[in-house]
Amino acid sequence: MLDLQFLIPEIFLSISIFSLLMIGVFIKDSFQTIYRLSIIVILSLILIILTGSHELTKVFSDSFVIDNFSSYSKILILISTFFVLLISKRHLIDIKNNKFEYPIIILLSILGMFIMVSSNDLILFYLGLELQSLALYILASIDRDNITSSEAGIKYFVLSALSSGLLLYGCSLIYGFSGSTNFEQIAILSKDFNAGIIFGMVFILVGLAFKVSAVPFHMWTPDVYQGAPTSVTSYFSVVPKIAGIAIFIKFMYLPFQGLLTEWQYILVFMSIGSMILGAVAAIGQKNIKRLMAYSSIGHIGYAIAGIASGTENGFKSTLVYISIYVVMNIGAFACILLMKRSGKYVEDINELSGISKNHPLVSLGLLIILFSLAGIPPLAGFFAKFYVFMAVIESGMYTLAIIGLITTVISAFYYIRVIKIMYFDEPKKPFEKFVDYRIHGPLLLSCILILTFFLYPSILNEFVSSINIF
């Protein structure tokens, strides 16, 4: 019983999932009800975690850890899910994809993420990862009548299953050569050079790179982002990234802390590759969701750069980066979900021509978000990159910092191209004008946070500074 009290969020979430599933099965047309209840479950979970213990506690033979790092990751996952669910609802109803399973599958993926970020054991980590992945497979292909959504689901399933297989192989290698699945035990044993453990670590890194869509394992991202419904894409671009980066940090700084010189170069390669591809490949894109896909690959590159520094400041700069990234992306997808004309959602960037004249406030919001994504001071996106570059420079990795700065300048080009289309091209037929607090509210909040971050950057920094993982 003593151990179970530390698992209240996970237990509450599991019971909620089963209860909602029963409601969905037995009550006809229950989408609205389940949607509202799912949001209540998420808000309740935030409250449970905030009021719970954040002291370092290990339960179930040290396989499950409760600490301020896992608590912060969970709260960030829940807050971002809450806003994604808010902005998605209207879109799901409009495309007649308002299935009651949608919010339940999202809650199921959150359960997997919770297990994953609290894991201190290879087996538990893998179970959490698979629970998350299985939910995401279904989510990607939820719009069954749409061929592009089905294609996206199959593509994500095949490639993600491959990455999971490689990751499991890596876990088995580490267990075989170390004799333990516990992270701390592996850390002790990996201090002595062991080729088997290094090979296992490489396989795990490959699997994790797939999950966060880092180069060279990014190939699924543009197609899945474009093919899946926009409401699903908004979830994919934000929430799994938080869990992926959290477990990336955990692996690098716990079981493999003694192999810093071995994994540092791998992460530097991933980071440079992601930053360059994210900057260059996005230039020619005409679909805004594909543009956001390459943008997310680039941003993951910057986040990994912080981890690659191998210092405490490095992982904390990554946490700050991913927190700001979440805010920017939710705002961006809120704008995309406002691109509706004649009852249909449009995704072509050229359709944004001259919207500054027809929709001045929406275009201003998108302008702020795009400038922040580009890293233009004094917006929040600038500070996110600044902290990462500072951590990288402190570690003496000047080449990585220079490439990061160059790719930032290149990526600014395609963000500014979108702004040019919005403000200087000939206006097209205006989008549908509607007021929906569920979309306009998160968009407004996102813009306020981006604009005012420079006034109080210490609030987030101090909070992140209190987080320990070592």
Query: Binning pLDDT at 50, 70 and 90, where does residue 193 land?
Result: low
Query: Binning pLDDT at 50, 70 and 90, where does residue 470 land?
Result: low
Pair of tokens at residue 321: 């980066």
Return the pLDDT at 350: 85
3-state helix, strand, coil in the chain (%, to 5): 75, 5, 20
Return the pLDDT at 111: 93
Indicate the SS3 state at residue 65.
strand
pLDDT of residue 173 exceeding 70: yes
Handedness of CA 419, 423, 429, 435 (dihedral sign): positive
Average pLDDT, the chain: 87
Percent of the chain past pLDDT 70, that is, above it, reads 99
Query: Binning pLDDT at 50, 70 and 90, where does residue 251 land?
Result: confident
Start-to-end C-alpha separation, the chain: 28
Encode pLDDT of 65-117 as tens digits.
888 888 889 999 999 999 999 998 888 888 877 788 889 999 999 999 999 99
Tell which residue, 248, 313, 228, 277, has the closest CA to residue 73.
248
Encode pLDDT of 432-447 as tens digits.
777 778 888 899 999 9
Return the pLDDT at 148: 82
Return the pLDDT at 331: 92
Helix axes 122-140, 147-178, angle to 10 degrees: 170
Query: Binning pLDDT at 50, 70 and 90, where does residue 42 land?
Result: very high
Pair of tokens at residue 177: 């050569």
Return the pLDDT at 469: 66
List Cβ neighbours of 331 (8 Å cut-off, separation of 6 or more).
Answer: 365, 368, 369, 442, 443, 446, 447, 450
Instruction: Work out the average pLDDT over 262-270.
Output: 88
Pair of tokens at residue 180: 């333990």
List Cβ neighbours of 258 (8 Å cut-off, separation of 6 or more).
Answer: 187, 190, 191
Indicate the SS3 state at residue 144.
coil
The region of weakest confidence among 130-134, 304-308, 374-378, 454-458 is 454-458
Query: Binning pLDDT at 50, 70 and 90, where does residue 392 land?
Result: very high
Amino acid at 15: I
Instruction: Work out the average pLDDT over 370-389.
Output: 89
Instruction: Work out the average pLDDT over 396-415.
Output: 89
Give the per-residue SS3 of the chain. CCCHHHHHHHHHHHHHHHHHHHHHHHCCCCHHHHHHHHHHHHHHHHHHHHHCCCCCEEECCCCEEECHHHHHHHHHHHHHHHHHHHHHHHHHHHCCCCCCHHHHHHHHHHHHHHHHHHECEHHHHHHHHHHHHHHHHHHHCCCCCCHHHHHHHHHHHHHHHHHHHHHHHHHHHHHHHHCCCEHHHHHHHCCCCCHHHHHHHHHHHHHHHHHHCCCCCCCCHHHHHHHCCHHHHHHHHHHHHHHHHHHHHHHHHCCCHHHHHHHHHHHHHHHHHHHHHHHHCCCCCCEHHHHHHHHHHHHHHHHHHHHHCCCHHHHHHHHHHHHHHHHHHHHHHHHHCCCEECCEECCEHHHHCCHHHHCHHHHHHHHHHHHHHHCCCCCHHHHHHHHHHHHHHHCCCHHHHHHHHHHHHHHHHHHHHHHHHHHHCCCCCCCCCCCCHHHHHHHHHHHHHHHHHHHCHHHHHHHHHCCCCC
